[in-house]
Amino acid sequence: MGSAILAEAPARGAGLNQVVGLTIAAAVIVAVMLWTGYAHRTHRISWLNRIAEWLGDKFNRPAWVALPVLVFTTSIICALFGFIWDVSWHIGNGRDPGPLANPAHYFIVIGLFGIFLAGMTAVVVPFDRPGPAAVRITDSWYAPVGGVLMAGCGLYALTGFPLDDIWHRIFGQDVTLWGPTHLMMIGGAGFSLYAALMLEYEGGRAMPETPAEGSYVQRERPFIQFLRYLSFGGLFIGMSVWQIEFDFGVPQFRLVFQPMLIAAAAAVAAVAARITMGPGAAIIAALLAIALRGAVAVLVGPILGAPINWFPLYLGPAVVVELLALAPIFRRPLLFGAVAGLAVGTIGLWLESLWIGAVYHYPWPVSMWGEALAMAVPAAVLTGMCGAMLGMVLTGQRLPGRVPSITIVALTVLVVGAGVANGLHIRVPNQDTATITLTDLPSPPGKHMVSADVRVNPPELVSSHPDWLTILSWQGRMSDHRGLMIDWLRQVGPGHYQSTQPVPVWGTWKTLLRVQDGRTMTAVPIWAPADDAIPAPEIPALASSTRPFVLEVTILQRERDPNVPAWLFTTGGVIVLIFTLMVIAGLAWGAGRINARDTAPRRPQHTAADPSPPQAT
């Protein structure tokens, strides 16, 4: 085990020179942060407070909100760009020689560190108590709840970076988005958006002109209003980060996950936006999410030459939520959230499926809808209720009580967890085979393109409408077809299929036959080069071969070490799960603290007609 942790092979962890360099850089940055915070708290410097106060005047927010929110916004966008680019980099190029060899990693690290820095800035800047819900650090030092949570989410995400290297040293590189340490990084960044919304709300309440009933009745400046809409657009994106493999067309998990993930993200973001920001907010937030995610997709794909990625529009679910908000049920937020989640998980999901079917590599087959709805509807109902509770917190409405609120959050975690457990249950038909005949096609010098004739044995292994039946070629270098080619096979007879476009079987390309049909999820290798760093032998592209179906990750994640005990991998995953649940619990605690009876703003007997949201019942 010790030798594995110290390994420097490219298929394992980073070289020790890179580890030392990153450690020194991190130590210097942390030292500068600590000194700056100490100097500010002891009044040895004044420039930090001057900058924060100046921004506070511009944004009509306290200094301890204006500067952190600006840092957070730029950082989360930086991390988003780095994240999308990094996923495309691995799909198009393969694994990294080291963390410093991938340019996308710089944007990720800077972005995640910026989230942590933004939270710590909110903690350090205020000299006075920042609102009634503030967390006491010392007898004379109080920090806003949102700042504490933001720093915690940022630290959680940052911790995933060195742990990812340790994970690679033990298990080999897991080139998949859903690796446990990868989930720490993207989850910490995604969850930090809740902290940002809470921090902004705390700041709005602390302004002198804020009425007793809360900040939501203020007539904000147009730019500030735009930023608040953008924050909910960010929530749409932040809750979508777990879907990115589907967006690129290289999902390593069953297709049935995608509807559940989309419905859950849409319900929480659209409901929270509508309750907090008023009529049209869900649609505006979805449009801003489209603009931001679209800009990143264009930059990563057409401009940088990486694989093209699509993304959910969320317009259908947003429209459904807006229409439902016109009904009297909107006056009862929790019930509205539940019914809106039901509508999102059914009608909204069907509307989203039209977009999925138009542009994605893998449309949703009719045969999948039963299981998809069984997973998506309960998740959407409960995340809709969570979105309603978030909206209640951000509008000063009292939550239903400690026990009911905690129960809703806990049920949401359990239902989503049950959906994940169901989605992970697969069948691998190891006893079945595929006979693949390759025919050479005219190819440019140095390249080898073929057509493929595939016969599945037995023919009934694949139904008439599988989730996917494709030949995937990836990691061929982004300079050639962006390093990714996906070919849906054409059926020409029972169990008999043919490729519809040239298939690469040369160089760094890894090419395989992929089958996902219900719970059957399996693959057959066609071509992969030798890789001495793993080590792994070449899988030759034979003119004709009959090979057994195998567990797909043994091909897609060939760097993973099969000799590591399974219990060790499971233990690592459980530890990451516990940390994630702690982050969720922390966010729930923060929302409850802000909304507590002795810290929440008083609600008036009669609310203003237009800008305020409905009364809770």
What is the domain partition of the chain in residue ranges? 1-219+563-587, 242-426, 433-550
Q: What is the pLDDT of residues 249-283, one digit of tens each?
A: 999 999 999 999 999 999 999 999 999 999 999 99
Amino acid 23: pLDDT = 82
Alpha-carbon distances, residue 517 vs 24, 364, 419 (angstroms): 49, 12, 18
Q: For residues 114-130, give the mean pLDDT.
A: 96
Q: How confident is the model at residue 613 (pLDDT cuts 50, 70, 90)?
A: very low
Confidence of residue 170 (pLDDT cuts 50, 70, 90): confident
Strands 484-488 and 468-474: antiparallel
pLDDT at 321: 98
Give me the pLDDT at residue 562, please: 83
Quote the pLDDT of residue 1. Answer: 47
Supply the pLDDT for residue 7.
Answer: 46
Paired residues of 484 in beta bridges? 474
Q: Which residues are CB-neighbours of 578 under 8 A, at least 6 positions away?
A: none
At 128 the pLDDT is 93
Q: What is the mean pLDDT of residues 36-59?
A: 94
Q: pLDDT tens digits, residue range 10-38? A: 566 666 677 777 788 888 998 999 999 99
Per the rule left: phi > 0, alpha: psi between -120 and 50, beta: everything else, 486 is beta
Per-residue pLDDT, averaged over 51-57, amounts to 95
* C-alpha to C-alpha distance for 207 and 224, rounded to whole angstroms: 14
| Residue-averaged pLDDT of the chain | 91
Greater confidence, 446 or 462? 462
* Residue 614 pLDDT grade (very low, low, confident, very high; cuts 50, 70, 90): very low
The number of angstroms, rounded, from the C-alpha of 605 to the middle of its chain's C-alpha atoms is 41
Res. 213: pLDDT tops 70? no
In tens, the pLDDT along 180-194 reads: 999 999 999 999 999
Return the structure tokens found at 362. Answer: 């893998």
pLDDT band at 566 (very low <50, low <70, confident <90, very high): confident
Rounded average pLDDT over 77-97 = 92
The kind and range of the H/E element at 471 are strand 468-474
Average pLDDT over residues 120-128: 96
How far is Cα 29 from Cα 332, in angstroms, rounded to an integer?
48
Give the integer Cα–Cα distance in Å for 160 and 180.
9
Residue 331 has pLDDT above 50, yes or no: yes
Q: What angle do CA 25, 28, 31 make, to 5 degrees?
A: 150
pLDDT band at 211 (very low <50, low <70, confident <90, very high): low
On whether the CB atoms of residues 268 and 387 are closer than 8 A, the answer is yes
Per-residue pLDDT band at 110 (split at 50, 70, 90): very high
Amino acid, single-letter form, for residue 16: L
Q: How remote is the C-alpha of 273 from its chain's centroid?
A: 19
- On the question of pLDDT at 421 being above 60, the answer is yes
